[in-house]
């Protein structure tokens, strides 16, 4: 209805020469997939998993797009980079597409991931059941806290950071998640890189310096909130100031736009499902 803003953003800055070149490896000759598309593949994959659970065998670009929260043109263009796995006049085979996507993302190798830092955030990540089903295996939990070292979380032993290099090498870990305070993030990062890690997901609010061949993605909570704040600011500025002239919609709006059940559950719903644990957890 109204003007749109399909967001991109803040969460990450990487440096690498990986994505650009045309590599043409693996059996079904791979095209060069745009970054923006790669970032959305994960969304599609989740949507597909959901469909598979519902027993759907075939899906149109239109429905899959809706499920993933994008428009169908974008979805089709994105999928076209993986190759032609749809059938005109019919749609996409859920299983086939899922497989194709997992293979493109390299999720069929059950990649070993190390998680460093087991504060609340680290624990939340460690408890994330989604990893296993999504092609990752947390094969190392690392911290300094003597209270934690030696205990196990989800059947994985927490080891001392002194053993970091050793663990990374013996487990052949290429991907690591940094969930330590920013004061030690660079230090941990350096050691990971020296030990051979080539991809890092960083939750500390620091700009990590890494050599060229290492990929860093960053998740910055405060930044996310600030971006929201900016938009919110704009909104209130608008309704405050020109609360009359032209398109004075907003407050007066009939009921929304993306036409949806604004609140269909019984007022104080939320039966008994616990809200507390693993926000990240759950299905797909």
Single out the residue of 44, 61, 118, 214 in contact with DNA (rule: CB under 7 A): 61
Instruction: Spell out a b/e string for 102-132, using b for 16 or more CB atoms within 10 Å of the CB, else e.
Output: bbbbebeeebbbbbbbbeebbbbbbbbebbe
- What's the min distance (Å) between Cβ of 190 and DNA? 25
Single out the residue of 77, 169, 213, 234 in contact with DNA (rule: CB under 7 A): 77
90: contact with DNA by CB under 7 A: yes
- What's the min distance (Å) between Cβ of 59 and a second copy? 15
Name the binder of 89 from a second copy, DNA, none, CB < 5-8 A by kind. DNA
Nearer to a second copy, 58 or 127 (CB): 127
In the numeric block, the tokens 């859920």 are attached to: 94
165: contact with DNA by CB under 7 A: no
Instruction: Please give the annotated binding residues, written as ranges.
Output: 117-122
Contacts of 10 (CB under 8 A, 6+ apart): 220, 223, 224, 227
Q: x-or-dash pattern for a second copy, window 118-157, by CB under 8 A? A: xxxxxxxx-xx-xx--xxx------xxx--x---------
54: contact with a second copy by CB under 8 A: no
Element (DSSP H or E) covering residue 156: strand 156-160
Is 97 in contact with 173 (CB distance < 8 Å)? no
Single out the residue of 89, 155, 245, 263 in contact with a second copy (rule: CB under 8 A): 263
Element (DSSP H or E) covering residue 116: strand 111-116
User: How is residue 16 annotated by DSSP?
Assistant: -
Is 199 in contact with 213 (CB distance < 8 Å)? no
Interface ranges with DNA (CB under 7 A): 4, 6, 8, 20, 34-37, 59-62, 70-74, 76-77, 79-80, 84-92
């Amino acid at each position: 209805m109204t003007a749109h803003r399909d967001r991109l953003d803040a969460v990450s800055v990487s440096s690498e020469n990986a994505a650009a070149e045309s590599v043409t490896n693996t059996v079904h000759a791979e095209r060069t997939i745009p970054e923006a598309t790669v970032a959305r593949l994960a969304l599609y994959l989740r949507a597909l998993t959901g469909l598979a659970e519902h027993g759907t065998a075939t899906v149109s670009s239109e429905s899959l797009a809706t499920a993933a929260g994008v428009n169908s043109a974008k979805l089709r263009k994105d999928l076209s980079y993986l190759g032609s796995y749809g059938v005109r006049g019919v749609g996409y085979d859920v299983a086939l597409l899922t497989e194709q996507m997992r293979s493109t993302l390299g999720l069929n190798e059950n990649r070993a991931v190390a998680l460093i830092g087991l504060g609340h955030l680290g624990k939340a990540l460690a408890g994330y059941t989604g990893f296993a089903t999504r092609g990752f295996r947390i094969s190392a939990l690392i911290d300094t806290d003597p209270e934690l070292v030696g205990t196990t979380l989800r059947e994985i032993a927490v080891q001392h950071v002194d053993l970091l290099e050793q663990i990374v090498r013996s487990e052949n870990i290429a991907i690591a998640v940094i969930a330590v305070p920013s004061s030690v993030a660079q230090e941990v990062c350096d050691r990971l890189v020296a030990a051979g890690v080539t991809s890092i997901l960083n939750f500390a609010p620091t700009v990590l310096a890494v050599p060229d061949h290492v990929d860093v993605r960053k998740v910055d909570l405060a930044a996310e909130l600030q971006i929201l704040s900016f938009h919110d600011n704009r909104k209130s500025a608008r309704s405050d100031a020109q609360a009359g002239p032209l398109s004075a919609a907003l407050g007066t709006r009939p009921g929304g736009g993306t036409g949806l059940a604004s609140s269909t559950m019984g007022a104080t719903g939320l039966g008994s499902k616990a809200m507390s644990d693993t926000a990240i957890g759950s299905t797909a």
